[in-house]
Structure 1
C-alpha cells in the first residue's frame, strides 16, 4: 500500500464521460417535459369546458326554482334576467333558460392570468390562451361556448329542439 497516492478528484476523461451521459439524458427527457406543457394546456381547456357546462346546468336549474327572482326582457320572449344571489339585482341573463354568451364569463371563476376570454358576435365566447397576435381563436387552443339558439331570436323557447341547447366546443390542436 506504500505506492498509492490520495485521490485528487476526477480525471478529464471521467468529466467528459459524465457530461456526455447528462447530455444524452437531457436529449431524451426534454421532449417529454415539453409535451407535459402541451398536456397541461389541453387539460386546462378541457376543465374550462366542464366548468362552463356545470355552471350552465346549475344556473338552468336555479332559474326554474320559485325562490329566485326572474323577469322577462321587454320585446324578447327568449331572454330572461334573473337574480341568482337574491341581492335584488338582476345580473344574469338567460336565453331560453341557459346562460347568455356574455354571462358565461361572469359565472366562471379561474385564477390563471394566462386564461383569457373574447367574444365573437352576439352568440360566441372563446376561453383559452392567446396567440402571438393576441387572438384566442388563432391560438387553436381554446374552448368555445355558443349560446342557446345562436344568433336566432326565437319567438318562444322550445327546449326539445337541438338548437335550443348551448354548444360546447374544445379545440386543442395548437396547444
Structure 2
C-alpha cells in the first residue's frame, strides 16, 4: 500500500518561473517610470514657455489699459517693469519668471558680463536636483527691436 504524499508549497521550477515573470514586469515598469520622469521635465519646460508668453501678454495688456506708451514702465505687485515696444524687457522678465519658483534658473545669473546690454535677452535652463543642467533644455526670451513683439525660442532636445 502506497501512501499519497500531500504536497504543500511550490516546486523549484514554479518559483523560478514566478521570479522570471516578476523580473520582466519590473523591467517594463522601470522603463515606463524613466519615460514618465522625462515627460514630467518636458511638461515643466512647456510650462515655463507658457509662463513667458502669459507674463509678456499680461504686461502688454496692463500697459495698454493704463494708456501708457510702448516704452513706458509699469508697476506690477510693487515691482517696476521696464518695457520695450510694449512688452517686458528681458531683464524685467527674468524677475517675473524666477519669482514664480520651480527648477528653472538663469544662465550665469551672477555673471554681469553675460548680461551686457542687460535688456537684449533672457535665457532659462532646467537644473536637475543634483545641480547639473543641460545646455539643450533651454528657453530664450528676447525682443528684437526691429519688430513689435517679443520672441520665445525653445530647445527641448535635452529635456
Count of residue correspondences? 147
Matches within 5 A, 1:100-111: 100-108=89-97, 109-111=99-101
Gaps of 5+ in 2: none
- Give the TM-score, by structure 1 length: 0.69
User: Which residue in 1 is equivalent to 2:6?
Assistant: 5
Distance in 2 between residues matched to 1:134 and 1:32, nearest whole Å: 23
Matches within 5 A, 1:42-53: 42-53=42-53
Distance in 2 between residues matched to 1:125 and 1:83, nearest whole Å: 20
Matches within 5 A, 1:40-119: 40-66=40-66, 79-85=71-77, 91-108=80-97, 109-112=99-102, 114-118=103-107
User: Which residue in 1 is equivalent to 2:141?
Assistant: 145
- Give the TM-score, by structure 2 length: 0.75
Structure 2 vs 1, CA of residues 135 and 3 (structure 1 numbering), >3 Å: closer, same or farther? closer
Distance in 2 between residues matched to 1:148 and 1:94, nearest whole Å: 13
User: Which residue in 2 is equivalent to 1:158?
Assistant: none
Q: CA RMSD in A?
A: 2.9
Distance in 2 between residues matched to 1:14 and 1:134, nearest whole Å: 46
Matches within 5 A, 1:14-25: 14-25=14-25
Structure 2 vs 1, CA of residues 134 and 146 (structure 1 numbering), >3 Å: closer, same or farther? farther
User: Which residue in 2 is equivalent to 1:125?
Assistant: 122
Gaps of 5+ in 1: 73-77, 150-160
